[in-house]
Structure 1
Amino acid sequence: MPDTRILIRNGHVIDTEPEPFARRDTDVLIEDGRIVAVGSELSADGATVIDATDRIVLPGFVDTHRHVWQSALRGAAVDTDLGAYLGLLAQCGPKFGPQDVHTATLAGALECLDSGITTQLDYSHIAYSPEHADAAIDALHTAGLRAVYGYGTPVTGGGSLDDVRRIRTERLADDNALVTMAYAPLGPSFTPIEVVAGEWKVADELDLPVTFHVAATPVNPQPIFTLRDAGLLREKILYVHGNTLGDDELKLIADSGAAASAAPGAEAMLGNNSPVAGRLKRLGVTTGLGVDAVTSAPGDMFSLMRAALLASQIVDNPRMTCGDVLKMATLGGAAALGLADRIGSLRPGKQADVILLRLDDLNCLTAERDPIAAVVTAAHPHNVDTVLVAGQVVKTAGRLLHADFGQVIQDLRATAAAVSGL
């Protein structure tokens, strides 16, 4: 259980609502897992005090799209293209047993927490059986991060609508819990619209948000128009990528009240066409950032923010700012997941998902003049000193508090050897 009362004292606090802004010498007071006050010289009576002198304090990062089980295949699909990446999944995915899924998902979730990602949408397209799905969910619970489990369809087939119903009714029925659920079908870019309509019907029946990869493909060169014509555009959809879609289709996403996840690292590495994050912002689409696949790209939000910012300087007009990108990594991601009422900023009343970065590390020294720029352009995972999820400290003094961290490392190495011959 989290401490009843925690005071984060005297930090360089960055809030993100309505837009990112920073202030010095500021405290954050947490009670019963929620933020109750942000200000100067707040009372420490009865509180555990975390000294944030020489620390940047900000909301935890939100990763809106990651195949977490691929932590066992890190770096296996670089210097290649999307086709080779999909081939890798078809080759290695069926070798994952339920225990391998648990191991890889737990390791990937802990990697998130270690780098300051407190919320993660796990697009888990490894549900070859009910046992595989249960293993992934168990791992997310064990890790202690906030997660949305996206029940996905494996590349080589598997999973079932009956099991989607089972998970929803028996395991993830509470939408206010730390681990919640989404449905992650193949979607209109890869399946006929009749199939999509049936999947949407199941999502409506179970009151689940939907997320899927979207692109112009031979199956459907204009998938958003197809959804519109079928009456299937709606809120509670998270579109992933969309680099090959025209502005007119992206505008339809915005007008429908849906959201998007841009994965600038993986999209660049796998040749998914030009960057999309800046276009999404310009067209008014609620947008978060996603790692996507550590097979092809870095697994931390700092790298993603830099990728999005640098790409914007080349292709976007107007260019995105550091504040724009930081908002995508926090409040924008929370909104994309339908969680902006509980996370993504330091507004009193929200759950206390908070991270502290060291300003006295060499790469962040003298960054007090612009902490927002420092987070986006200079910081990296090793600067993450402290992490709280719903008021629970899960990392302190630069070390994760997970009890079996050493065993997780050994287990992941064994899984990697089993599924890929390492």
Structure 2
Amino acid sequence: MTQTTLLRGGWIITMVPGSEPARGDVLIRDSLIAAVGRVDPPPGAEVVDATDRIILPGLVDSHRHLWQSSLRILACDWTLGQYFARMRGQFGGLFRPEDIFAGTLLGAVEALDAGITTVVDWSHNLNTPAHADAAWAALQEGGGRAVFAYGATNDQALRNDVSAHTRDVARLRTEVAGDAAARVTLAMAVRGPEFTTIDNCEADWGLARELGVPMTVHVGGGLRGAQGGIRALSERGLLGPDTTYVHCNMLSDAELELIASSGGRASVSPEVEANMGHGPPATARLRSRGIPTGISADVCTNVGGDLFGAMRVAIALQRGADHAAALTRGETLEVVSMTARDVLAMATVDGARAIGLEDRIGTLEVGKQADLLLLRTDLPNLAPVNDPIGAVVHAAGTHNVDTVYVAGRLVKRAGQFVDLDLPSVLRRAESSRDYLLAAATDR
């Protein structure tokens, strides 16, 4: 039986290039967007009053380590070096499959709560196949759209290991992840030349292409990111449009040109990068070369798990750097170098492009998946609405996220989850946290 819902009378931000926010309606039919604009209610449709709401595409987090969510904010004062020494060296090997499940589920739920309907789960603590199965099961239970990026074991991530990526990813591809149109799909989180040998990179890239799954790779983060890794990949003929390059801070302009010419994509994590010391933000350098660039929260051990904060940090860092450069030249900028629409695109349409899902999500268009959120504007931080896009980027917070749909399925309404036992999710995460902290203390 067809399920039809009409969201009526809201401020609509479609994020279709060239479009402007306007009052109107969005019709959802089953899992798809059926109409956008002025729509008469079809017979039998549920009509939702969106008068005091902004309706926009579900946000896209293009790179997040969900497995760490139970250790929330533990690393808030850690540098990048301390993170590797402590999170990987102290905690990573302690994670049981049930800890991976608890952290991944909590992170997936946290994302939905913040209006993030799609997340790339960069899962790089998969010490056994059971760990991978636990992460996959948590994404299924979480209810959001996800790309499960099957990553390394803790030992592989801890040092420059020479072992190849486990072929267990092939098992998962065959058993449960064969449908590229499913809500949860598969990718490979490959280590790249900053974490392993170039011969090993060639093998890992070959495995991903053999399986027909996209890749995501950390590059350009900190001093190890300034050693020509992209050039090395290019010399082996490995760069391509099936790869998302994460961070990119310390890459040279020539390396960014290699990514652009190969059709590659990118993801930045401005809040984490600034806090931990990855290097100057690469946002403008990526975007100026036409590289589709998404945005992410990265690790909730260090920052909050919403994209409102990430967007604000991204735009402030870029504008600040550009203002400072102009003042150093004895000039002032006549217009801002990055607009609110630019950074919202990174969290929606460009984020979808950055992970290869632009045909399905990222904009409110007929035929696309009905992944969207409604933000309350009848609260002091958004009322009155004068610039809907500016309101989302510069003023909105998770408390404004009123309603969330994923593939047309209602997962949050009136600020509350639908069909989710949140206390159970929290108890599981707290139990895992208690175990991990105690086990780390005993080592």
Bin the TM-score by the shorter chain.
Answer: over 0.9
SS where residue 139 of structure 1 aligns? helix
Q: How far is the alpha carbon of 1:223 from its aligned partner?
A: 1.2
Q: CA RMSD in A?
A: 1.7
Q: How far is the alpha carbon of 1:78 from its aligned partner?
A: 1.8
Q: How far is the alpha carbon of 1:277 from its aligned partner?
A: 1.4
Q: How far is the alpha carbon of 1:50 from its aligned partner?
A: 1.3
CA contact (8 A) 1:89 1:155 kept: no
Q: How far is the alpha carbon of 1:42 from its aligned partner?
A: 2.6
- 2:150 maps to 151
Aligned in 2, Cα 1:402/1:45: closer, same or farther, shift over 3 Å? same
Q: How far is the alpha carbon of 1:160 from its aligned partner?
A: 5.0
Q: How far is the alpha carbon of 1:44 from its aligned partner?
A: 3.5
- 1:330 maps to 348
Distance in structure 1 (CA, Å) of the matches to 2:430 and 2:57: 32
TM-score scaled by length of structure 2: 0.91
Distance in structure 1 (CA, Å) of the matches to 2:372 and 2:287: 25
Which runs of 5 or more structure 1 residues have no equivalent in the other structure? none
Q: Which moved more, 1:40-49 or 1:356-365?
A: 40-49
CA contact (8 A) 1:128 1:157 kept: no
- 1:173 maps to 178
SS where residue 154 of structure 2 aligns? coil
- 1:370 maps to 387
CA contact (8 A) 2:123 2:151 kept: yes
Offset from partner CA, 1:214-252 (integer Å, 9 cap, x none): 027559711111111111111110000010011221122
CA contact (8 A) 1:189 1:220 kept: no
Distance in structure 1 (CA, Å) of the matches to 2:280 and 2:429: 34
Distance in structure 1 (CA, Å) of the matches to 2:146 and 2:266: 17
Distance in structure 1 (CA, Å) of the matches to 2:121 and 2:79: 22
Query: Which consecutive aligned stretches of 4+ in structure 1 deviate over 4 angstroms post-superposition?
Result: 216-220
CA contact (8 A) 1:98 1:132 kept: yes
- 1:114 maps to 113
- 2:231 maps to 225
Match for 2:34 among 18, 33, 36? 36
SS where residue 373 of structure 2 aligns? strand
Match for 1:194 among 189, 199, 218? 199
Q: Which moved more, 1:4-13 or 1:158-167?
A: 158-167
Q: Identity over aligned residues, as a percent? A: 46
Please tell me the residue identity of whatever aligns with 2:320.
Answer: I
Distance in structure 1 (CA, Å) of the matches to 2:367 and 2:233: 37
Q: How does 1:225-304 map to 2 (within 5 A)?
A: 225-304=231-310
CA contact (8 A) 2:8 2:51 kept: yes
SS where residue 292 of structure 1 aligns? coil
Aligned in 2, Cα 1:189/1:11: closer, same or farther, shift over 3 Å? same
Offset from partner CA, 1:43-76 (integer Å, 9 cap, x none): 3322111110110000000000000011111111
Aligned in 2, Cα 1:73/1:373: closer, same or farther, shift over 3 Å? same
CA contact (8 A) 1:183 1:208 kept: yes
- 1:86 maps to 84
Distance in structure 2 (CA, Å) of the matches to 1:294 and 1:20: 33
Offset from partner CA, 1:299-356 (integer Å, 9 cap, x none): 1010011011101111248611000000000011111111000000001000000100
Counterpart check, 1:205 vs 2:210:
yes
Distance in structure 2 (CA, Å) of the matches to 1:28 and 1:195: 48
Q: How far is the alpha carbon of 1:19 from its aligned partner?
A: 4.6
Distance in structure 2 (CA, Å) of the matches to 1:382 and 1:42: 30
Match for 1:416 among 433, 436, 443? 433
- 1:182 maps to 187
Q: Which moved more, 1:242-251 or 1:123-132?
A: 242-251
Counterpart check, 1:320 vs 2:338:
yes
